[in-house]
């Protein structure tokens, strides 16, 4: 049995591949290797296809009968989706349909789709998990991808499909478009941390190793057809994140406020009653304060990789 991971050289994907290899799994990575990929993955004991899954023919040649497929590949940043909505739709909608079709035609054993809590829109609590209310091109494209998956589940109930919708994920190796790595690198370079608006927007952060453990456990124990959620009960404003990093690095006068996004979600939900705990036994193991120092130190050690991306 092979496990095919799309986007396996990305932030979450590279940590997932590490976990799967530690478990003794045979891993196939499909990744176009963008400029923010973790290229050391090519030196690991995986089969690597340097391919763009927006091409409908790529996955048909890679996925085999009885493979397990974890679809992580995506354009995952909101700011990029504002400036390049067409690219975002290609990456997140068309590619997801390509995954589902290839899995059906080649008889994959299981499919696990990585989605996001952002499909529910800017709210602290979800009352109806069937009601999606995305507010930007990124979350809209992920919601559209989820609807493609839902259609396949109805058309082909014999396909074993699960979806994971998660809060923000954080930790080492994340590209600097995201707030924690960006603030860390800016601070380490002696630059001010730039915050959209007044910094009051809130986010919840899940440790990346907790996130990939959830993916692994759903792949093994997930009940067919279920949509699972991973969440952290604590939430932090963007300003609080900047202050935590500034405090750790003992900085003064380190924040600059910028005009807000076209639309900026104020918060995302906490999923209190999560089926993933009952079905797989998964639980959160780390708080942000436990892994933020090691994350900042990772960026200190690897700062030269990211300097060219800081403007």
279 lies in the same domain as 262 = no
Question: Any bridge partners for residue 48, and if so which?
Answer: 29
Q: Which CATH number fits the domain that encloses residue 194?
A: 3.90.25.10
Q: For the residues 135-157, what does the mean pLDDT come to?
A: 94
183 lies in the same domain as 226 = no
112 lies in the same domain as 123 = yes
pLDDT at 147 over 60: yes
Q: Pick the residue with more confidence: 71 or 274?
A: 71
Length of the chain: 311
d(CA 208, CA 24) in angstroms, rounded, equals 20
Q: For the residues 69-91, what does the mean pLDDT come to?
A: 78
pLDDT at 82 over 80: no
pLDDT of residue 76: 67
- How many domains are contained in the chain? 2
pLDDT of residue 81: 61
109 lies in the same domain as 26 = yes
pLDDT at 263 over 90: no
d(CA 26, CA 23) in angstroms, rounded, equals 9
pLDDT at 128 over 90: no
pLDDT of residue 25: 96
pLDDT at 86 over 80: no
pLDDT at 5 over 90: yes
Torsion over CA: 114, 95, 36, 20 (sign) = positive
d(CA 128, CA 121) in angstroms, rounded, equals 12
Alpha helices in 106-190 (DSSP H): 137-155, 179-188
Helix, strand or coil, per DSSP, at residue 182: helix
Instruction: List the single range of 37-41, 50-54, 249-253 with lowest mean pLDDT.
Output: 37-41
pLDDT at 35 over 60: no
User: Which residues constitute the domain of residue 240?
Assistant: 179-200+235-267+291-309
For the chain, give the percent of residues with pLDDT over 70. Answer: 92
131 lies in the same domain as 247 = no
| 51: Cα separation from own chain's centroid | 19
pLDDT band at 100, cuts 50/70/90? Answer: very high
75 lies in the same domain as 159 = yes
Using an 8 Å Cβ cutoff, are 218 and 160 in contact?
no
pLDDT of residue 91: 81
Query: Which residues touch 295 (CB under 8 Å, ≥6 apart)?
Result: 170, 171, 172, 180, 181, 184
Q: Which CATH number fits the domain that encloses residue 136?
A: 3.40.50.720
196 lies in the same domain as 67 = no
pLDDT of residue 303: 95
Q: Is 304 exposed, middle or buried (0-12, 13-18, 19+ CB in 10 A)?
A: exposed
pLDDT of residue 301: 96
pLDDT of residue 250: 97
pLDDT of residue 90: 82
pLDDT of residue 42: 58
pTM over 0.75: yes
Using an 8 Å Cβ cutoff, are 41 and 14 in contact?
yes
213 lies in the same domain as 253 = no
H helix or E strand, kind and range, residue 194? strand 193-196
pLDDT of residue 79: 61
Q: For the residues 125-154, what does the mean pLDDT come to?
A: 92
């Amino acid at each position: 049995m092979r496990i095919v991971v799309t986007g396996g050289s990305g932030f979450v994907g590279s940590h997932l591949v590490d976990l799967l290899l530690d478990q003794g799994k045979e891993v196939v990575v499909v990744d176009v290797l963008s400029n923010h990929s973790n290229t050391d993955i090519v030196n690991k004991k995986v089969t690597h296809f340097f391919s763009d899954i927006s091409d409908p023919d790529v996955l048909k040649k890679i996925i085999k009968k009885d493979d397990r497929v974890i679809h992580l590949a995506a354009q995952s940043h909101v700011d990029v989706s504002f400036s390049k909505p067409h690219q975002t739709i290609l990456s997140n909608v068309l590619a997801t349909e390509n995954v589902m079709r290839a899995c059906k035609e080649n008889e994959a054993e299981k499919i696990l789709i990585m989605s996001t809590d952002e499909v529910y829109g800017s709210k602290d609590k979800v009352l109806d998990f069937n009601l999606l209310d995305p507010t930007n091109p990124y979350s809209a494209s992920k919601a559209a991808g989820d609807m493609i998956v839902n259609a396949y589940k109805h058309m082909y109930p014999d396909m074993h499909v699960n979806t994971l919708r998660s809060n923000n994920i954080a930790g080492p190796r994340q590209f600097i478009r995201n707030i924690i790595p960006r603030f860390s690198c800016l601070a380490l370079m002696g630059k001010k941390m730039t915050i959209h608006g007044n910094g009051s927007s809130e986010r919840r952060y899940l440790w990346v190793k907790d996130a990939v453990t959830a993916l692994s456990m759903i792949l093994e124990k997930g009940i067919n057809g279920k949509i699972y959620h991973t969440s952290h009960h604590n939430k932090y404003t963007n300003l609080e994140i900047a202050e935590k990093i500034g405090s750790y690095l003992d900085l003064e006068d380190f924040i600059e406020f910028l005009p807000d996004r076209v639309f900026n979600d104020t918060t995302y939900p906490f999923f209190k009653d999560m089926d993933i705990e009952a079905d797989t036994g998964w639980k959160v193991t780390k708080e942000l304060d436990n892994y933020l120092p090691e994350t900042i130190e990772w960026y200190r050690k690897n700062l030269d990789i990211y300097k060219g991306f800081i403007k």
